[in-house]
Every structure is written in C-alpha cells, then in structure tokens.
Amino acid sequence: MGNMLVNTRDQKFLLYEQIGIEKLFETEKYADYNKETVDMMINEAEKLAVEVLLPTYDKGDKEGCKFEKGRVKVPACFHDAYKKFCEAGWLCCMRSVESGGQGMPNSVAQACYEFFQAANYPLVMYPGLTNGAAGLIDRYGSPEQKKKYMERMYTGEWGGTMCLTEPGAGSDVGSLKTTAKRLPDGTYSIQGTKIFISSGDHDLTPNNIHTVLARIEGDPAGTRGISIFVVPKFRVKADGSLGPNNDVTTGGIEHKMGIKGSATAMLIFGEEGKCVGELLGKEREGMKVMFNLMNEARIEVGLQGLGTATAAYEHAVEYAKQRLQGAEIFEFKNPEAPQVPIIRHADIRRQLLWMKAHVEGCRALLYYTSFCQDMMEAAATKDERQQWASRADLLIPVCKAYVTNRALDVCSIAIDVYGGYGYCSEYPVEQYMRDCKITQIYEGTNGIQALDLVGRKLGIKKGMHLLAIAKEMDAAIAILREEHPELSSYVNYLAEAKNALTDLTIKFFKLGKSASFLVPILYATPYLNLFGDVAVGYLLMEAAGIAQKKLNAIYAEAGAKGSKAKQRAMVHTNAEVAFYQGKIASAKFFAVNVLTSVRGR
C-alpha cells in the first residue's frame, strides 16, 4: 500500500540486500522467522500506522492532554488506537514468547516501529514506556512480580513508566532526593517527587506501574547508592484486583512545545507517607537495572527522530511535486513560460537530496545497530556475543544523538521546501519539527550522549571496538575501489573522512592522558557528529556499491550496458532502476557535501 511516511522499498533494501537479516533465520533463536514472515509483519505495521495511528496525529496535537481534578485525560481519539495497537501484539513484540511476546528480531521491530513513530509517536510513547518498564520486571523481577505486574503490562491492560528525573536531579541522577525506607514486611516506603515523567498519568489504563529510582536510607550518596523500585499507582490485591491508591498523586502536567498528546507529568510519591514500593533486583543496583531500559529507550528515541524526519521528507517530496511556482531556469526571461512544480528547481532538489541522504543514512545506522543486538542475542559463543554487544554499545549514543540532530535538520528543511505554508499549522511539517525537538533532550541529552561516547565508550579495551570498525571500513573501501571504479572518487572522500576520524580519535587518547585531558570532553559533541557522519557515509557508500552491482545486471539484461542514454531512459520506466540510481545519488551527494568537510571540522 502507498504511504507518505516511510519508503518501504528502502526498508527492504536495508534488511535483505545490505544488512542481510536472513543470517538471523539460520540461528536457533530466530529459526521460526523467514522473509515471508518479516514482509507480512512490515505490511501489517504499515496498515496499522496508516489506517489507525496517523488519523490521530493532528487531532492529538490540537486536543492535547488535560489535567482536571487531579487526573489526566489524553486526547479522546487515542483510546481506540491504543486498544488496537495493543490487541495486535505490538506492545511487546520483541519480548520472548515465554513472556508473552513474539520474539521478533530487533531489526525487524525497528522497521515496523518506524511506521508507528512516523504516524504518531506521541501516542506510541504510552505502550513504548510500558514495554520498557515491563521489560525490567521481566529481566530482574521475582516470579511474583512478573505475575503481579508484568503480564498485565505486556498486554497493555496496565501502563508503565520510568521515573528518574527530579527538580534537582536531571542529567545528574546521583543527586536524587527520593528515599526508600525499609518496612517490616520487606517492602519499602517511598517518598519523593519526580518530574518530566512521560506517560506519568493518563486514562488509557486503570493502573500505571512506575519504576522509580530512590535511595534506601543509609545508603551512600551518588549513583552507587541508588536502588530501583516497582511502585504501582493503585495497590494490587492478592486476587489481582485493584486496591486503594498507593499514595501516588499527580501534581500536574507540562505544557509543551510538541508531543502534546503525550502526558508529561509531575508525580508525588508518599505525600501522606503511605506509598509502598517493591525492590526490583538488588539493593544499590538501580542504575545497572535502569541502564538496560535506557539503552532500549535511546534506540527508541533515535527511531522517534527518524520517524519525524522520514515523514517530513516524504511529505516535502509530495508537496514539491504538486506545488507550481516559477518557470524552468532556462526560461527565466520568457514571461509566457508556464509554471512548473517546484521540484524542478535546483535548490529544491538540493534540499530534497540532502533530506533523502540523511534519512536513508540514519535509517541504515539504526537498523544496523539493532541487527548487532540481534546477533548478540543469537550468538553461539560468549566471545561472539561480547563482540556484537560491544559494537552495539558503541553505536547507541550515536544512534540517539546523531540521528535526532539530523532529524531536526530534516524537519527544518522540509518547512523550507513548503515555504510560508510550512510554517502554518494547516500543513503537517511544523508539527513534525515541534515533536522532533524533544528527541534531542530526553533520555539523556545529546550532550550527555557525546560524553558517554568520548568519556566511556571509546576507551573500552583501549579503543579496540572502534579499531575493529575502522579495519572493516578499510577492507570495504578497498573492495569498492576495485569493483566499482565509477565510484572511486566518492569512495576516496569516505576514506579521507575515516582517516580524519581515526587521527582525531588517536589524538583524543593522547590528550586524555595529558594535562589537556579536558580537550576531548570540550569537543565531545562535535566528535560525535563527525563519528555519525563517517558511519552514515560508510553505510551509504556500501549501499551504493550494492546498488551499482544490481544496476549493472539490469542494464546487461536490458541491453543498456555502456549506453548512458538508455540507462537514463530506464529511470522513467523501471522502478528498480530509479530506486538504485537514487541510492547511488544519496551516497554521492553525502560524500561531496558532508564527508569532504570532516577533515576541516
């Protein structure tokens, strides 16, 4: 089916032709999956996104959430869409079959969820956060906690949240003031205030299960003294029915620039001293537990950014094809020249190609990182598992920060393509930009992601993980030069950018051991963006090599080999030729306009 959200042909190119997820089907963990199954899932995701979620996007933004008499109401149109989303099993599709999920590979789920995020990510945040909180209980909870909470969260019957931020503890989580006091029955009395809690309160479900970071009385200051607790809004009786309110109250909701359909709440725990929580995992291991959810969330936020970007791009392309304005450039002196669609104008084409290259590159980065997670989970040996886990871990901050940085740029350029109309709420692109902005801020600001990359990830095993990626790039670059001489000049730009990044990384290592150790921290954000540019440039160039090989075969079969005229003509008559030519154009554009600047930056 057609849509103005996601390019399904590019999705399948990535999954089957570039990443090669069929390798997963050969493993024991994903043996029940095959191409037909994956295609069916993506088709169903597209259908749900277009028919159910997308119609609620604009309505949810205009209606917003309401806080009345201590209760939060979400946009009315969200209720039916939420119900259908959960009934279809999408909430926990990546979780194990034993826990109630479908055991879907992460890379496949990325493709499906890209549709959902592009259609209405403020709505999808509700089941998304529930899945994350339930996943923590799934991994660290006792059998009793799983039965009591997890099962009903995975079905969407109950909601869930992650409660970290406090008025005085944002990025500095270790400064939190929320306390936990041991009770005689083994539970804990929770007291404190959390702010900016996404899905913190709503009327989609009768109960909300909060995962709350707090410090047990007497435990040390800082992050090492933090524990995590399961705190339901309403207590749960032995028979599973709901009891009284657990002394969890909502102090209000935020009035935000974007994602207005997503309730962002202030939660007050234990105002009357009657809030009871259950320890999740072990004492003083709250950050260890929560980081499992944070890593999932950071990939998801990257996908939220991509969702707004791909939708903004697809809408901009369609608008540029329809909007008539001005004559062809070579007719500028002819007052009788007819108007043409603005996609015929050079600068509009440049803007669209910039968006196309970055959307495709960011999609490739996210899908590849999720594939690394799949390979980690399916690994047969400990060493293989560690290899894939380390690569995914290195790329996660780049997926979150780089993708959302570029996504906001894409949304901004989409508004430019629309011109003055893009700035008006009658058209969707201004909402995409408003909704995209928060992705740079929550789940760890992009500055924090850069510090994580430079201050922690790069130094693991003395940079061995980055070195392994660089060696793979070198090998791939050599093959591209040999097999595709027509791409050689662009491949050279990639090689130079990769070398510049490697040189800078080595310099950072040296500075980190000197009196100038603060320099890498100062330039952490520019470094992350350079890292992302090189990673995306590599993935785009790899795709161009695959596309060129496919084109050569098509041209040979059609008798167009060596004839530029015939090859150009086939762009208009053969959809596959047009697609593959587009992949090559994205890589060339990115190489010339982005990779050439890496050394200078």
Domain count, the chain: 3
Residue 171 falls within a domain, yes or no?
yes
How many of the other CB atoms lie within 10 Å of CB of 157? 13
Residue 448 falls within a domain, yes or no?
no
Give the three-state DSSP class for 132. Answer: helix
Which pLDDT score, from 0 to 100, does residue 1 have?
65
Residue span of the structural domain in which 479 resides: 458-601
Which pLDDT score, from 0 to 100, does residue 462 have?
78
Which pLDDT score, from 0 to 100, does residue 293 have?
82
- DSSP letter, residue 591: H
Parallel, antiparallel or unpaired: strands 179-182 and 208-216: parallel
CATH number of domain containing 135: 1.10.540.10
One domain, residues 586 and 463: yes
Parallel, antiparallel or unpaired: strands 159-163 and 208-216: parallel
Catalytic residue list contains 483? no
Structural domain ending residue among the three candidates 253, 284, 315: 284
Rounded-to-integer distance, Cα 325 and Cα 340, Å:
6
One domain, residues 81 and 165: no
One domain, residues 566 and 488: yes
Rounded-to-integer distance, Cα 103 and Cα 154, Å:
13
Specify whether the CB–CB gap between 534 and 470 falls below 8 A.
Answer: no
Catalytic residue among 151, 443, 482, 486: 443
One domain, residues 469 and 595: yes
Rounded-to-integer distance, Cα 180 and Cα 177, Å:
10
- Only one residue has tokens 């530029």, namely 564
- Of residues 209, 225, 99, the one with CA closest to residue 163: 209
What amino acid occupies position 361? G
One domain, residues 189 and 122: no
Q: Specify the pTM.
A: 0.97
Residue 485 falls within a domain, yes or no?
yes
- DSSP letter, residue 339: P
Strands (E) in 103-218, as ranges, are 159-163, 179-182, 188-198, 208-216
Structural domain ending residue among the three candidates 124, 149, 174: 149
One domain, residues 87 and 192: no
Residue 585 falls within a domain, yes or no?
yes
Task: Supply the Cα-derived Rg of the chain in whole angstroms.
Answer: 25
One domain, residues 166 and 224: yes
Specify whether the CB–CB gap between 453 and 528 falls below 8 A.
Answer: yes
One domain, residues 463 and 597: yes
Length in residues, the chain: 601
- DSSP letter, residue 28: S
- Only one residue has tokens 């369609």, namely 318
CATH number of domain containing 245: 2.40.110.20
How many of the other CB atoms lie within 10 Å of CB of 511? 17
**Burial track 317-353 (b if 16+ CB lie within 10 A, e otherwise):** bebbeebeeebeeeeeeeeeeeebebbbbeebeebbb
Q: Which residues does the chain have with pLDDT short of 70?
A: 1
Task: Please give the full DSSP string across 347-369, using - where no structure is assigned.
Answer: HHHHHHHHHHHHHHHHHHHHHHH
- Cα 562 to Cα 197, 485, 491: the distances in Å are 60, 14, 22
Residue 550 falls within a domain, yes or no?
yes
- DSSP letter, residue 26: T
One domain, residues 576 and 546: yes
- Only one residue has tokens 């996404």, namely 198
Structural domain ending residue among the three candidates 267, 284, 301: 284
Which residues have C-beta within 8 Å of that of residue 70, sequence separation ≥ 6?
Answer: 249, 250
Q: What is the pLDDT of residues 445-485, one digit of tens each?
A: 999 999 999 999 998 887 888 888 999 999 999 999 999 99
Q: What is the pLDDT of residues 243-273, one digit of tens each?
A: 999 999 999 999 999 999 999 999 999 999 9
Specify whether the CB–CB gap between 253 and 68 falls below 8 A.
Answer: no
The token pair that represents 138 in the structure block: 């799934």
